[in-house]
Each structure stands twice: as structure tokens, then as C-alpha cells.
Amino acid sequence: MQFVKTAFLAAATLAVTYGAHAQTADELIAKHVAALGGMEKIKGINSLVMKTKIEVMGNEAEGTQTLLTGKGFRSESEIMGNKMVQVVTDKGGWSINPMTGGGAQPIPEEQYKAAKDQLDIAGPLVDYASKGNKLELQGREKVGSVDAYKLKLTAKDGGLTTFYLDPNTYYIIQSVKQMNMMGQDVEMIVSMADYKKTDYGFVMPHTINTDFGGQFQIATKVSKVDVNTPVDTKIFEMPK
């Protein structure tokens, strides 16, 4: 009888622990949403146009990133006289890279899979369940000097990304995404800092450093943000 009682208490403890674990993850997301300006602000964003300064392998350039929420994302810059363009839409993507051969080319499926999150200004954490994603809180882990919350997100398509949240601000300070690049499985590590509130009231990082499996890095600084300005959808169409 004592064994049954002990087993019951152990099971109850596990159930409570699991429930608190899930609730804690959801509470973190709620605080993250509030830190960004709130759900109303996030869902009110139809478009975003950002002026950026980019550094790639020691070369600096100015660029423009244009997002039409859920429909298209375009990144354009000029490096060493070469115009670089990458476009992701809800149907696929394409790029122009003179260093790898001239005109517009469709991007590989694996690259598209890794890049399509850019269509969602809120990111995969916000409303994660309704997007078909699964979220697991995995305790804390040091990111630099920050003892960050570690959240493992499994996307609807099976993709894995680990997010690290600052316990004081609830901003994402780093994400680690598993992806395939040129036939190799690599980790794309994105570090985010210098969060600022836009005139619209949405808070976003203005310094973003991306490391593609140690093969190359891109440092991006946002200099200007315009929210809900008209966007011509033709900029997302692949040139023929």
C-alpha cells in the first residue's frame, strides 16, 4: 500500500513539474512578446524597410532589407561594386550573386527552409503553437556573461533552432539553427544586441552578427527603420 502511495506521489510530482515546466516556457514567451512592444504592435506590422550597414569578410557595404509580412523578404546590397540580392517569398526564393555566376538563380531548398523565418517579423517563438511549432525550455546556459534561458524550438517542418533569452530584458540575444549549406550540415549562429524601440513602438535589435558554421560571418547594423510603408510586390519577383 505504501508502495502504491509513493508511486502515486511520484507520478503527481512529475505531472506538476511537467506542467510548471510548460507554463514557464509560455510565461517566458509572454514576457518576450511584451518586451517587443506587445502582441497588438507585432500583429499591426504589415511591412518593414530597414537601411543597414553590412560587413562581410572585411568588406563594408550599405544595404536595404524589405519585409512584407508573410509574403516576401528582400535583402539588397552592393559589395566591391557587385550587387547582391536575396529574396524569400511564401513560395520559394532566389538570389543574385555575381561572385557565383551572374543572373538570378533559385536558392536551394535547404537554404530556403532556413531563410523563410524572415517572412515572420515576430519570429517562430511568438504564437509558436498556432504555427505548428513545439517549444521546450531546457534550463539556462551561459551566452557570454549572460545566464540565458535556453529554449529549443522544433518547427513544423522538423527544423531545429535553439533560442537564448536574456533573463532581465527577455530579448533574444542568440539563436542557433541547424542548416545545410553547400551540402554540409552547419550551425548558423545569430547574435542580437542593441535593441531599440522604433517610432512605431516595436522593439528590435539594431546589431546582428551571423556566423555560418565558421565559414564566413556577416555583421549587420541597422541605421533606419520604417514601419508600414507601401511596398511594391514586384521587387520579390525573380527576373527572367
In the predicted model, what is the mean pLDDT of residues 140-151?
97
Residue 59 grid coordinates: 568588406
Q: Are 215 and 183 in contact (CB under 8 A)?
A: no
* β-strands 47-56, 59-68 pairing: antiparallel
pLDDT of residue 187: 92
Count of beta carbons in the 10 Å neighbourhood of residue 53: 14
pLDDT per residue as tens digits for the range 111-137: 888 888 899 999 999 999 999 999 999
pLDDT per residue as tens digits for the range 173-191: 999 998 876 677 889 999 9
Alpha helix (H) residue ranges in 117-234: none
Global pTM reads 0.84
Residue 172 grid coordinates: 533574444
121: exposed, middle or buried (Cβ count in 10 Å: 0-12, 13-18, 19+): buried
Which CA distances in Å does 49 have to 45, 124, 128, 170?
Answer: 11, 20, 24, 24
User: What is the domain extent for residue 37?
Assistant: 2-236
CATH of the domain at 232: 2.50.20.10
Q: How many domains does the chain have?
A: 1
Residue 68: alpha-carbon gap to chain centroid:
15
Residue 103 grid coordinates: 543572373
Three-state DSSP state, 177 = strand
pLDDT per residue as tens digits for the range 54-89: 998 888 999 999 999 999 999 999 887 888 999 999
